[in-house]
């Protein structure tokens, strides 16, 4: 014989309250032990379902973002770089620049924390309800070239192009051909005024022309990207964080010959 609780659970599932259905027995026991009012019980029940859905959305958006690794801003060592200070850091964490569709260009040598900062900001954005897409320059060009005949690339492109924040890592790390340069321009042109960008690069925007091979095209791309932008320069004198925190198979003391 079906119990009253099981009947209620089935009604919850019918109403697509799947998480509440699973938790209902515990919620009912807690309500009885704490003498919740009807109002308190309904509040706790609906809050539980909303929190579960929010977590599922975050998990889904984190998967869609396709970050190369999981890093948060809490792990970012602000004191070990001189690119931004406390005030600038707090402004970035407010995320208002996403709504204003700003472009952040994180520029500097490899290993200085550019990608970590971009992933941390992207993670924070997802936790605050934004959709984020992370892609390297090389992968983006492959997606743009193959999306017409590869379903995986089409899906990836759709997720990136519908994001509120698009992070492109290692921009202009290598020379691109004419077709790739035009595809990149078209991508920027289509999403200009529709999304915010973070670009990481070890080359300054003034050097991008050498990699795109077309001065007028470079000017057109930069005209859009730099219209609302902040260039954050990680200095040449900063030690590589990768080297500082690298793991080694040798002891710290010098090996004896």
Phi-psi region of 193 (alpha: psi -120 to 50; beta: other; left: phi over 0): left
Q: What is the pLDDT of residues 57-90, one digit of tens each?
A: 899 999 999 999 888 888 887 777 777 888 888 9
pLDDT digits (tens, 9 = 90+) for 109-143: 877 788 899 999 999 999 999 999 999 989 999 99
SS3 assignment, position 231: strand
pLDDT exceeds 80 at position 195 = yes
Fold of 73-244: Rossmann fold (3.40.50)
Using the predicted structure, report yes or no on whether residue 217 has a pLDDT greater than 60: yes
| pTM for the model | 0.79
The residue-averaged pLDDT of 24-42 equals 92
Question: Burial level of 139, CB count in 10 A (0-12/13-18/19+)?
Answer: middle
Q: Give the sheet arrangement for strand 229-233, strand by strand.
A: 132-136, 165-169, 196-201, 103-107, 229-233
- For the chain, the domains span 4-65, 73-244
CA distances from residue 131 to 56, 148, 175, 186, 208 in whole angstroms, order as listed:
13, 24, 30, 21, 28
Pairing of strands 132-136, 165-169: parallel
d(CA 19, CA 209): 53
């Amino acid at each position: 014989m079906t119990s009253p609780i099981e009947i209620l659970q089935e009604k919850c599932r019918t109403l697509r309250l799947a998480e509440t259905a699973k938790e209902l027995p515990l919620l009912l026991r807690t309500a009885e032990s704490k003498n919740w009012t009807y109002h308190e019980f309904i509040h706790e029940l609906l809050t539980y379902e909303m929190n579960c859905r929010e977590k599922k959305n975050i998990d889904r958006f984190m998967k869609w973002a396709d970050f190369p690794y999981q890093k948060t801003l809490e792990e970012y060592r602000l004191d070990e770089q001189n690119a931004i200070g406390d005030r600038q850091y707090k402004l970035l964490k407010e995320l208002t620049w996403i709504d204003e569709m700003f472009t952040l260009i994180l520029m500097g040598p490899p290993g200085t924390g550019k990608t970590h900062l971009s992933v941390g900001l992207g993670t924070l954005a997802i936790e605050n309800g934004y959709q984020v897409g992370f892609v390297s320059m090389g992968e983006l060009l492959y997606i743009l070239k193959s999306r017409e005949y590869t379903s995986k690339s089409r899906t990836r492109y759709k997720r990136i192009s519908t994001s509120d924040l698009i992070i492109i890592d290692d921009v202009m790390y290598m020379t691109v051909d004419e077709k790739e340069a035009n595809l990149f321009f078209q991508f920027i042109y289509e999403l200009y005024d529709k999304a915010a960008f973070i670009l990481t690069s070890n080359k300054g925007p003034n050097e991008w022309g050498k990699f795109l091979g077309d001065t007028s095209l470079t000017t057109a791309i930069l005209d859009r990207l730099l219209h609302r932008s902040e260039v954050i320069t990680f200095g040449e004198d900063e030690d590589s964080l990768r080297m500082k925190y690298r793991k080694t198979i040798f002891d710290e003391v010098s090996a004896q010959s």
